[in-house]
Amino acid sequence: MRRSSFVETDRIDPNDRVVLISDLHLGDGSAGEPFCRKDDELRRFLDRVASRADALVIAGDGFDIAQAWRIERIYDKHQAVIDDILELSKSMPVHYIRGNHEGNARSISRMLPLRYSLNLTIGDRILVEHGNVFDPHCQPGDLTAWWATRFHSLLETKLGSPIRIPMRKHYCWSTRLGHWLFFYVAFGRHVSGKLWGQLGWPDKEKAAADFLDYWGRGEWGDMNGLIRAADVVLSGSEYDILVCGHSHQPGRVRFDGGEYINTGSWAFEQKSYVLYEDGHFRVHQFGEARELGGEEYHGILGPHRDKSFFDWWDEFYRGFLRYDVDAMVRLCDFDAEDLALDLEEGDLAP
């Protein structure tokens, strides 16, 4: 069935072999585009999906309207990739979940006849979301968040350089300067929060504390607050597995209530995907045999669980816009048990 209107929830048969990706961030093709012109690699990936899967899920932020402003500009720069996606949709369902970089996504759905939804399930026990529904600063329908996203994308486009967290993945002049400026913003929020508390405004004090906690946890390994949210969702819902994108952190984390899986992204140097088959999930970078586990989350789930942004600053800032990025990377050291066997024959590896 072909449709271009959104439904709230779509469903995939649990017996299907499903490939899930997200956060491609196909944009205007400029130096500030997060996709970084990996068209040929993405086309090779889609070619393998065509012969080895029953369905493809793009779990949000595939087409970056916030960065390119119009779907026509994206198509102009990535015509071959988009044509491949459309061709693939003729032979299998291509599901598209709305993210936070598409706006209302009407222009995309009018141009590209895919299966659009706000989320979807695989069977009855697996929920797939983009993830921004769990992000307190990027809620669906929040116009302030939407325009903040567009401003951030415009700034990166004009600079031709990213301003991102975590710094260990984006150690460049713009991110270093951005973190230095943010330190003073954070210090101001901390002081103002304390003042609001002394003046008898506990809600404003808590808002300041939550703001600092959100960005601090992002640096330590919980981007967009999804790890904390996933634990809550899995403990209090009928789902055993929650799959999200949004945070660009590919991997798998097990909680008492179930398993959280992140599809990662195709932004910057990443090319991650998730394969679902016979009731099991695996997470990979395209072209690499090693399966990803919880290494992206080593810091936030381990020794740095309760550390703040100021703890991060004290530990890694070295003065004059210099940071100890090697020490940051060591936060993501993983145990041997996180390594999996090589891909089996017939998987998506080149």
pLDDT tens per residue, range 116-137: 999 999 999 999 999 999 999 9
DSSP state of 291: B
Alpha-carbon Rg of the chain, whole angstroms?
20
Two tokens, residue 119: 């989320």
Could you give the CA distance from residue 128 to residue 217 in angstroms, rounded to a whole number?
Answer: 23
- Are 175 and 30 within one domain? no
Say yes or no: 61 and 181 in one domain: no
Whole-number pLDDT of residue 23? 97
**Same domain, residue pair 19 and 118:** yes
- The average pLDDT across 59-74 equals 95
Instruction: Tell me, yes or no, whether 238 and 138 share the same domain.
Output: yes
Say which DSSP state 95 is in. Answer: E
Q: pLDDT tens, 263-284?
A: 999 999 999 999 999 999 999 9
Residues 259 and 184 in one domain: no
Q: Report the number of distinct structural domains present in the chain.
A: 2
Closest CA to 334 of 231, 221, 257, 241: 221
> pLDDT per residue over 322-331, tens digit each?
999 998 888 7
Q: What is the DSSP letter of 63?
A: B
Shared-domain flag, residues 213 and 316: yes
Task: Please give the C-alpha separations between residue 117 and each of 105, 190, 219, 275, 347, in angstroms, as whole numbers.
Answer: 11, 39, 31, 20, 27
Q: Looking at the structure, tell me whether residues 216 and 232 fall in a common domain.
A: no
Out of 26-40, 103-117, 197-211, 326-340, which region has the weakest mean confidence (pLDDT)?
Answer: 326-340
147 and 57 part of one domain: yes
Q: Which domain holds residue 181?
A: 171-220+304-333
Q: Is pLDDT at 212 greater than 80 in this prediction?
A: yes
